[in-house]
Chains A and B, each alone.
Chain A
């Protein structure tokens, strides 16, 4: 069996067992509360979203998103309050601007931009949070595992 054949088989084996790994950055006041409400309302969701709490979506540095992709995340979600409803008045406007540009950067460097998603979900929108989680998981499942950006898939240069 050649090396390439082996890797193809490995990939197949991997993909059947593969479960998406999605990192969510949720602002404390809206989206994290929305996720809590989804829980309180017992809205079932696929178990692949891991939420990191931040005070405001404006706190999320695009570097963290890149880091997540490098470390093997298949998708990243940044969720904040609806524009105009930010707990800190204007934080999510900066999120919106930063990540609009960031998404173009991903596109530019040839990385599937669909792996990164930004959403506005309020603390009252438990159903929307749950629906959105399902949608993000479906999207990432369609895209398959992240192979381009993960550090362990990039040949390591040894000096």
Chain B
């Protein structure tokens, strides 16, 4: 028999105004195991807690029931209280007399009191069955993996590294820098993107705590918070990074030229190449698809001209494993493929380009040296039409959401076009202009008033080629008439979408993503950088479209989450997790199939049966992974599983008491 104490709280008049608290306390005294009851105005207050501690000591109470508010409100408070009295904190049960009783039955005090008595009886029945639980602890590997080397990944890595922790920055391309390295200028200040981005890339490369693994992809992830086991595939680079000095002779001598991805298809690159001159690491890779030597075995020029003998055609993909305590996902975005819009030429009109291509056109290091020339005949355009919301806010072929950054970068592009081409006509078709940001609306106002970009509110219905002109037909909804513009160049502000492999990555790492493939944060307001998997955090556009300031803010937030995690050596684990009775377990492992956290596996045990040693498989719960949902318990045919804190006999006792 356990000595149970029941503490009934008035909660001022919140409970006491409806429920007959003295009666509840009096009746509770007659329940099995109950040796002490007490009522008090505010049990959660300091004197209330002190009285509870006194009573526990004086009456040698072994289990405590607090009949007050919701356990979601004060369970932690009272656990700490009884721990101060020397009891195990898990020997507590709460009866919810406020939210579930007095507040919802104010005009029925009699039945409310009856219900309150029942709720207390239920809590007493359960608490009589509870056992002490010990929070376990798991060690934390203070090493972070940042997946994606764009501006989000770089900032997250730098912040974590500055706190003194080791960081591996993983990047699938040959260089870090991501999309920001492609940009010419950044809104709203129009400062040069490369001037603020490339120094950060160099900082990351030179930071003693950061290891950059470029041209590498995530192969597999297992483990749990504090202890992730990660395998990375280092793709064959065909260039030995240790020998290569990055002199670039190979690039100039390579005879095969192909379309450059970095220049968004508007320039060419050799087959042994650095994506761009400021690449980090500033060393080339060989494109195995187009390289003649790797494809046909003929050529080999780069190996011959390389002064250090760094070219190695025999290079193979390599799998590297590592242990990490936390993972920051910063995999960024891609542009929506607008070729689904046949009405805009379906990608076949050479002078209809995306905003990212325009970004390269105005960029001084771009294919035209910063001169805006249209791709088809290199003519300097006199009329440029920008069309916003290509794929954004469009449910039929595009995405429902707003891509957030397009209004501002289109305003920036319009400004740049007006600046670089004085006298040119610049039109912007828009649905709405959304400029919620510091200095954003001021920028937009300047674009229209000072630079004279003409904003037309309406959608474009069709774009077609007519001679060397593009005809853009749309509607001006403010005037209420159709408009047709003869343009030389059309720029489409395409939506931001997650990278192709986003869903696959989320499954590999083990957290959730939404219908569009963006990674889902644990709470849209209060946990914006956590995922629903502990130890995995989000930064940047992989979580949803955003601009650079928001991306950097989120990256720093994710880094601070990681460093907060790393500030401890051990992580306390929730003791209310599943446990296996190995004597009863038959090793069917049905439980492992329902576990959402892959926390249950099989393990071999040896035991003596009739004097012989036999080996059999039983279920094994990983205390680091188990989150305590208990879905496995009803699944167990042999009744070997139980959820600590919500065991079968505890819940059954509650059912029995509640039915009395």
| Cα(A4)–Cα(B629), bound, Å | 50
| Cα(A62)–Cα(B103), bound, Å | 30
Contact A50 B72 (CB under 8 A): no
Contact B627 A88 (CB under 8 A): yes
Question: Which residue on chain A has the smallest CB distance to residue B574?
Answer: A55
Question: For the complex, is A52 an interface residue (Cβ under 8 Å from B)?
Answer: yes
| 1/0 contact string of A19-41 vs chain B (CB within 8 Å) | 10101000010001101101110
Q: Which of B114, B646, B656 contacts A54 (CB 8 A)?
A: B646
- Kindly state the interface size class of chain B when it binds its partner: 35 or more
Question: For the complex, is A60 an interface residue (Cβ under 8 Å from B)?
Answer: yes
Q: Which of A45, A48, A73 contacts B659 (CB 8 A)?
A: A73
Contact A68 B115 (CB under 8 A): no
Question: Which residue on chain B has the smallest CB distance to residue A58?
Answer: B631
Q: Which residues of chain B from 603 to 660 have any CB-CB distance to chain A below 8 Å in the complex?
A: 627-631, 633-635, 643, 646, 648, 651-652, 654-656, 658-660
Question: For the complex, is A1 an interface residue (Cβ under 8 Å from B)?
Answer: no
| 1/0 contact string of B15-37 vs chain A (CB within 8 Å) | 00000000000000000000000
| 1/0 contact string of A66-101 vs chain B (CB within 8 Å) | 011001110000000000000111110010001000
Question: For the complex, is B70 an interface residue (Cβ under 8 Å from A)?
Answer: yes
Q: With A39-B99, A61-B633, A90-B596 in contact, is A23–B115 under 8 Å at CB?
A: no
Q: Which of B107, B115, B635, B643 contacts A55 (CB 8 A)?
A: B643
| 1/0 contact string of B87-128 vs chain A (CB within 8 Å) | 000000000101111011111100110110011001000000
Question: For the complex, is B576 an interface residue (Cβ under 8 Å from A)?
Answer: yes
| Cα(A53)–Cα(B597), bound, Å | 22
User: How close is A39's CB to chain B, nearest CB, in angstroms?
Assistant: 3
User: How close is A130's CB to chain B, nearest CB, in angstroms?
Assistant: 7
Which residues of the other chain, A, contact B347 by a CB distance below 8 angstroms?
none
| Cα(A91)–Cα(B635), bound, Å | 11
Chain A interface residue count, Cβ-Cβ cutoff 8 angstroms: 44
Q: With A68-B655, A88-B629 in contact, is A39–B634 under 8 Å at CB?
A: no
Question: For the complex, is A64 an interface residue (Cβ under 8 Å from B)?
Answer: yes
| Cα(A130)–Cα(B655), bound, Å | 22
Contact A94 B630 (CB under 8 A): no
Q: With A54-B630, A62-B634, A89-B532 in contact, is A71–B106 under 8 Å at CB?
A: no
Which residues of the other chain, A, contact B629 by a CB distance below 8 angstroms?
55-56, 58-59, 87-88, 91
Contact A94 B114 (CB under 8 A): no
Contact B104 A130 (CB under 8 A): yes
Q: Provide 21 A-B residue pairs closer than 8 Å at the C-beta atoms, listed in order of the A residue.
A: A23-B655, A23-B659, A36-B73, A36-B100, A42-B103, A44-B106, A48-B115, A52-B651, A52-B655, A55-B630, A55-B643, A59-B646, A61-B633, A61-B634, A62-B634, A63-B634, A72-B659, A73-B658, A91-B631, A94-B631, A130-B104
Contact B633 A67 (CB under 8 A): no
Which residues of the other chain, B, contact A98 by a CB distance below 8 angstroms?
634
Question: Which residue on chain B has the smallest CB distance to residue A89?
Answer: B596
Question: For the complex, is B230 an interface residue (Cβ under 8 Å from A)?
Answer: no
Question: For the complex, is B512 an interface residue (Cβ under 8 Å from A)?
Answer: yes
| Cα(A63)–Cα(B114), bound, Å | 27
Contact B633 A59 (CB under 8 A): yes
Which residues of the other chain, B, contact A52 by a CB distance below 8 angstroms?
122, 651, 654-655, 658
Which residues of the other chain, B, contact A45 by a CB distance below 8 angstroms?
104-105
User: How close is B124's CB to chain A, nearest CB, in angstroms?
Assistant: 14
Q: Which of A64, A89, A91, A94 contacts B655 (CB 8 A)?
A: A64
| Cα(A121)–Cα(B519), bound, Å | 24
| Cα(A135)–Cα(B537), bound, Å | 42
User: How close is B112's CB to chain A, nearest CB, in angstroms?
Assistant: 6
Question: For the complex, is B310 an interface residue (Cβ under 8 Å from A)?
Answer: no
Which residues of the other chain, B, contact A28 by a CB distance below 8 angstroms?
72
Q: Which of B72, B576, B628, B633 has the most CB of A within 10 A?
A: B72
Contact A39 B70 (CB under 8 A): yes
| Cα(A43)–Cα(B652), bound, Å | 29
User: How close is A114's CB to chain B, nearest CB, in angstroms?
Assistant: 18
Which residues of the other chain, B, contact A19 by a CB distance below 8 angstroms?
111
Q: Which of A23, A55, A63 has the most CB of B within 10 A?
A: A55
Question: For the complex, is A106 an interface residue (Cβ under 8 Å from B)?
Answer: no
Which residues of the other chain, B, contact A47 by a CB distance below 8 angstroms?
101, 104-105, 108, 111-112, 114-115
Contact A36 B72 (CB under 8 A): yes
Question: Which residue on chain A has the smallest CB distance to residue B70?
Answer: A36
Q: With A42-B106, A50-B118, A61-B648 in contact, is A23–B658 under 8 Å at CB?
A: yes
Which residues of the other chain, A, contact B596 by a CB distance below 8 angstroms?
88-91
Question: For the complex, is B594 an interface residue (Cβ under 8 Å from A)?
Answer: yes
Question: For the complex, is B71 an interface residue (Cβ under 8 Å from A)?
Answer: yes
Using A52-B122, A52-B658 as known contacts, list a sample of 8 further A-B pairs with CB atoms less than 8 Å apart, ordered by residue number in A: A39-B99, A42-B103, A50-B115, A51-B100, A59-B630, A59-B633, A89-B597, A91-B596
| Cα(A50)–Cα(B122), bound, Å | 9
Which residues of the other chain, A, contact B532 by a CB distance below 8 angstroms?
89
